[in-house]
Structure 1
Amino acid sequence: MAQALPRFTSRPARIAVLRAQSTKRAVDEIGRQAIFYRTAIIEIPIALARHHRETLRLLAEVALGSGALAVIGGTVAIVGFLTMSAGAVVALQGYTTLGDIGVEALTGFLAAYVNVRIAAPVIAGVGLAATIGAGATAQIGAMRISDEVDALEVMGVRSIPYLASSRIIAGMIAIVPVYAVAVIASFLASRTATVVVYGQSGGVYDHYFSTFLVPTDLLWSFLQVILMGLVVMLIHTYFGYTAAGGPAGVGEAVGRAVRASLAAVVFVTLAVSLAVYGTSDSFNFAG
């Protein structure tokens, strides 16, 4: 808690003290997050060994939804719809933009390049944060404010591997098939928009698409979304685990977690792009 300042303290001194206290709280928060992330990652083997049934249940729940939401609310359906929309936008904008300079035949190249390296991974990360991540924060936060987390500790069940590590495993595994559906949906949407809507020859589109679709880019793309799954689940489980202040506190924790995870998704995309493609010359235009 912040210490009360003497009444005779000058205004500049008070401002300096308040800034120092704010900086100290921020550093303490970073330290608490780092300790939680380290513990959650280290205890993943414990979650696999002791809580494998709970992990499987969470995996089915986060990937396909539960109850009535399984048809329309599962992560597969949501991420697939989002990436399908993104793929269609890439094709529509790409065709009209490239048509301005007379090279609309290269829309297939744009779909193969943008969807794999940027659009599909980012949209999948956003969908993961908005569905699996937000749900994990709300669930763990509700358990925290109702003292269920403390009850687990009293019963001898380590709460971090049971609540956090199991959800991290489920999120990282679920994102692989979810992203596979997302990539296929973006490819189909781009081709449909280009060939059906604009009437480009299917052979021309397929030629440029297959020419510039680099298999290693797909592999890096999958590794990128797995890393996104790890980062997003770490952030959301932390904010849920440390939620306080009743139901309003849980809602605030969900909002803070979503904001942090969306920023983390963009940062992971930037870091992977710089590391993998920063000095890459995987394609060249010639002739």
Structure 2
Amino acid sequence: MILSQTATQRLKNATSGTAGRVKSSFAALDGHVMFGVKMFAGIPMAITRYRTHVLREVGNISFGKASLLSGGGTIGVVAGMAIVAAVMVSIEIHRALGLLGFTALSGLAASIANTQALAPLIAALAIAAKVGTGFTAQLGSMRISEEIDALDTLGVPSVTFLATVRLIAMLIVITPVYMVGLLGAYLASRFVVVGMLGESSGTYDYYFRQSITPQAFGYSILMTVIFSVIIAVIACSYGYNASGGPEGVGRAAGTAVRTTILTVAIAAMVLIFGLYGLTPTIPGMGLE
């Protein structure tokens, strides 16, 4: 009887603890959503009043304050990660198609993989790791040093001045940065398949062009823009609401990165299936 009561009590404690964590998770989600709504609501004011700050953040995001030492800022990080990922994926694609005797389709597979999934995800991960953590650390340090409270006291809309400005800068920067990364992935895939593995350049280019359509290209950019908005909202929200001193800022940055990666992964799955569907479409090859 005593053992059964103890087991029942443990089960109740575990259930209540799980329910509490789920409740706190939904409360945190609600807080991020409301913070994002405030960020978007402040866009008109940020564009009209804080254009100088937006341009400064554009420079910080794209090239960084020490671009030569940090690999060219976000542009260098995105391009480098996209090239490395494209090289590895192209090698594996060629190897897998070689088992079936269809290595001529390597250009087609590399194009689809880079455009529809690989390049947007790599860009999102690079931006989350480099830009997102920077947003969280910057806003978190301002929160614990009471700079945000000082802005509120002076009547400055702190969410607009700090978070919305960074969101606008992210939206301005993300498309050209992503284009550089996507171009690097395309060139790396072609170099691997044609230059290293010896496939015909004409065959590669022909099948590569078959899968590149304005619609697929636009979807790829749209996915990256959505990912960047998710990253900016989550990173700024955690930084703005940080507490607990420098240690709390570190915890907020780590939590923001984990939350961002999980949210981007879920969003990628939904967007890929929603935009491209479950049935493959390749114009010019009878799959439409």
TM-score, with normalisation over the residues of structure 1?
0.91
Q: State the one-letter code of the partner of 2:184.
A: A
2:107–2:205: 8 Å Cα contact kept in structure 1?
Answer: yes
The equivalent residue for 2:169 is 170
Shift of 1:34: 2.1
Contact in 1 for aligned 2:61/2:73 (Cα 8 Å): yes
Distance in 2 (alpha carbons) for counterparts of 1:117 and 1:237: 28
What do residues 42-92 of structure 1 show as CA deviations (whole Å, max 9, x unaligned)? 111111111111011001110111135566150000000000111111211
One-letter amino acid of the structure 2 residue matched with residue 59 of structure 1: V
Residue aligning to 1:45: 44
Relative distance call for 1:70 and 1:218 in structure 2 (3 A) is farther
Q: Is the 8 A contact 2:32 2:233 kept in 1?
A: no
Gaps of 5+ in 1: 1-9
Instruction: Indicate conservation of the 8 Å contact 2:46/2:165, yes or no.
Output: yes
Secondary structure of 1:213's match?
coil
Is the 1:87–1:189 Cα contact (8 Å) retained in structure 2? yes
The one-letter code sitting in structure 1 at the alignment partner of 2:29 is I
Distance (Å, rounded) in 2 between the aligned partners of 1:33 and 1:107: 42
Q: Does 1:88 align with 2:87?
A: yes
Q: Which amino acid aligns with 1:270?
A: M
Task: Write the distance in 1 (CA, Å) between the matches of 2:121 and 2:159.
Answer: 28
Matching residue's letter, 1:83: A
Q: Is the 8 A contact 1:243 1:250 kept in 2?
A: yes
Give aligned pairs, total: 278
Kindly provide the amino acid, as one letter, of the partner of residue 235 in structure 1: I
Report Cα offsets for 1:120-179 as digits up to 9, x if no partner: 000000011011111111100010011010011111111000111111111121110010
User: What secondary structure does 2:100 align onto?
Assistant: coil
Q: Against the structure 1 CA distance between its residues 13 and 99, is the aligned structure 2 distance closer, same or farther, given a 3 Å change threshold?
A: closer
1:181 aligns with 2:183: no
Aligned to 1:56: 55
CA contact (8 A) 1:64 1:70 kept: no
Which residue does the alignment assign to 1:106? Answer: 105
CA 1:110–1:18: 2 relative to 1, 3 Å: closer
- Aligned partners of 1:30 and 1:286: how far apart in 2? 44
Q: How does 1:1-287 map to 2 (within 5 A)?
A: 17-67=16-66, 69=68, 72-278=71-277, 281-283=280-282, 285=285
- Equivalent pairs: percent with the same residue? 33
In 2, distance between residues paired with 1:17 and 1:79?
Answer: 43
Compute the displacement of 1:33 (Å).
Answer: 2.0
Q: Could you tell me how far apart the structure 1 residues matched to 2:251 and 2:76 are? A: 27
1:281 and 1:12 map into 2 onto residues whose CA distance is 48
Matches of 2:175 and 2:58, distance apart in 1: 12
The 1:23–1:67 alpha-carbon spacing in structure 2 relative to 1, beyond 3 Å, is: closer
**2: CA distance, partners of 1:161 / 1:39:** 8
> Structure 2: 5+ residue runs without aligned partners?
1-8
SS at match of 1:100: helix
TM-score of the aligned structures, taking structure 2 as reference length: 0.90
